[in-house]
């Protein structure tokens, strides 16, 4: 039998208590996993002077799979987030959060079974933000074709691997026509490669309503980062909240599993933490490794324990962490009762197919420039035309300034759009910028492209 070595980071706060619970359950269930302990978090900072030592990263690099307890991140200062450091080091591009009803945990529904796959690196989480004026902060919402394709492909592969019926893309492409439009375009293209799996898409606002009204409509969901963050909490709420919400971060050849909740400093050291979410994260890890029979065995013991009324305080029971763990161990079913089969994977990690780089950009032609600038009043002296580039509009908060609208509330960040009917040369762009830049307190310059077929690759300026 294959034995896997997995990096175990117990973390801090309640981390060591819930990690011990998993270690004991895995030992009792004779799961073919050998732990390699590594350190991260507050205790690690005190001991080694860093919240995430290089030896921990090396361990994950070596084993490719890690189970991580929560780690405390100080707010507004202090050391950097361990989670962000790990996510960046291993490019963990997909955050997989299953939400499955647990009998014995009282919620509005008892039949939820959704797997949410959230893009984990891009979107506003790329963290590209700027102050444009003292009154305007800007956050770039970055959506890329390779980034979107990787997470979408992962969602379809996961659906196929787990025998799921449907993948739903959640987006806001009616408003964010280019960025969410790209995410949806990637989804539709990749869906064609999986004819055995149904696919559909839904706007994120409607998705939230449908999740509350008809959650059975969803099976596997795939979303850009920020929507995924919000909607996954909604899904966690549907099945009982933080105490039961597991998760896994999947990257190029690496996977790190952890509960959604944090280090719960308010109850740390009291021995009363609920290990359910962490146990479920470990179960998710077993599925990732192909150890489906071990996963099913532990999950059914956990479910049986909760149904039998043994629960920690956060779920309305009075068991402490140790009592709960012992009960799960005593409820492990015999192996003969488990239907799932172990299918150990020889490469226990996921590497997405490298996406061919799109060559579409070769046919893009520059037809204009958006120049953003800081001004207290709308400028009245901008040239109507520089070379073949014509002043198309001056806008504020995305809306064109029209002479008749004198009572609009204007912020102090404007945009001047210059457009040409035909593609322009670099010399013409330079001439425009040389003319405008000395006149304006400019903050951002944005090139405007059009394809050879005449499609504009920028959003129009709204006149409403």
Q: Which residues bind ligand NAI (CB under 6 A)?
A: 14, 70-73, 83, 242-243, 258, 261-267, 273-274, 277, 314
Measured from the CB atom, the residue of 201 and 314 that comes closer to ligand NAI is 314
As measured in angstroms, the least distance from the Cβ of 422 to ligand NAI is 53
Measured from the CB atom, the residue of 197 and 273 that comes closer to ligand NAI is 273
As measured in angstroms, the least distance from the Cβ of 267 to ligand NAI is 5
As measured in angstroms, the least distance from the Cβ of 298 to ligand NAI is 17
Around Cβ 300, how many Cβ atoms within 10 Å? Answer: 17
Q: Which of 305, 364, 314, 359 is nearest to 333 (CA)?
A: 305
Measured from the CB atom, the residue of 82 and 291 that comes closer to ligand NAI is 82
As measured in angstroms, the least distance from the Cβ of 276 to ligand NAI is 7
As measured in angstroms, the least distance from the Cβ of 393 to ligand NAI is 44
As measured in angstroms, the least distance from the Cβ of 237 to ligand NAI is 13
Measured from the CB atom, the residue of 167 and 239 that comes closer to ligand NAI is 239
As measured in angstroms, the least distance from the Cβ of 291 to ligand NAI is 23
Measured from the CB atom, the residue of 263 and 342 that comes closer to ligand NAI is 263
As measured in angstroms, the least distance from the Cβ of 115 to ligand NAI is 19
């Amino acid at each position: 039998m294959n034995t896997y070595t997995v990096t175990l980071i117990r973390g801090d706060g309640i981390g060591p208590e819930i990690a011990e619970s998993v270690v004991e359950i895995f030992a009792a269930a004779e799961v073919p996993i050998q732990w390699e302990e590594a350190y991260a978090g507050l205790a690690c900072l005190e001991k080694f002077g860093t919240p995430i030592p290089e030896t921990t990263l090396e361990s994950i690099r070596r084993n490719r799979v890690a189970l991580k307890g929560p780690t405390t991140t100080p707010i507004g200062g202090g050391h950097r987030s361990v989670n962000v450091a790990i996510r960046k080091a291993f490019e963990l591009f997909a955050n997989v959060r299953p939400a499955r009803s647990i009998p014995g945990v009282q919620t509005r529904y008892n039949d939820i079974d959704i797997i949410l796959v959230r893009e984990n690196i891009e979107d506003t989480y790329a963290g590209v933000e700027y102050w444009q004026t003292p009154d305007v902060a800007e956050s770039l919402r970055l959506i890329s074709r390779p980034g979107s394709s990787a997470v979408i492909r992962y969602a379809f592969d996961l659906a196929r691997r787990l025998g799921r019926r449907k993948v739903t893309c959640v987006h806001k492409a009616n408003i964010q026509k280019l960025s969410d439009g790209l995410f949806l375009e990637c989804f539709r293209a990749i869906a064609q490669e999986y004819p055995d799996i149904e696919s559909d898409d839904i706007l994120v606002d409607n998705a939230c309503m449908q999740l509350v009204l008809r959650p059975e409509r969803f099976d596997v969901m795939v979303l850009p980062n920020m929507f995924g963050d919000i909607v996954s909490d909604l899904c966690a709420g549907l099945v009982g909240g933080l105490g039961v919400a597991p998760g896994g971060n999947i990257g190029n050849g690496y996977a790190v599993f952890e509960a959604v909740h944090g280090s719960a400093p308010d109850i740390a050291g009291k021995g009363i933490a609920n290990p359910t979410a962490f146990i479920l994260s470990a179960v998710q890890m077993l599925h990732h490794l192909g150890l489906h029979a071990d996963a099913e065995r532990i999950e059914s013991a956990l479910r049986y324990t909760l149904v039998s009324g043994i629960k920690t305080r956060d779920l309305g029971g009075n068991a402490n962490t140790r009592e709960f763990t012992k009960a799960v161990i005593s409820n492990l079913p015999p192996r003969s009762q488990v239907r799932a089969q172990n299918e150990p994977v020889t490469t226990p990690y996921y590497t997405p197919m490298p996406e061919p780089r799109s060559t579409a950009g070769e046919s893009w032609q520059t037809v204009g420039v958006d120049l953003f600038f800081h001004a207290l009043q709308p400028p009245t002296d901008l040239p109507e035309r520089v070379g073949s580039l014509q002043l198309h509009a001056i806008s504020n908060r995305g809306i064109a300034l029209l002479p008749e609208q004198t009572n609009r509330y204007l912020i102090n960040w404007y945009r001047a759009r210059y457009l040409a009917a035909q593609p322009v040369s670099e010399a013409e762009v330079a001439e425009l910028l040389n003319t405008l830049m000395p006149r304006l307190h400019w903050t951002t310059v944005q090139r405007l492209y059009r394809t050879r077929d005449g499609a504009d690759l920028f959003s129009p300026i709204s006149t409403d």
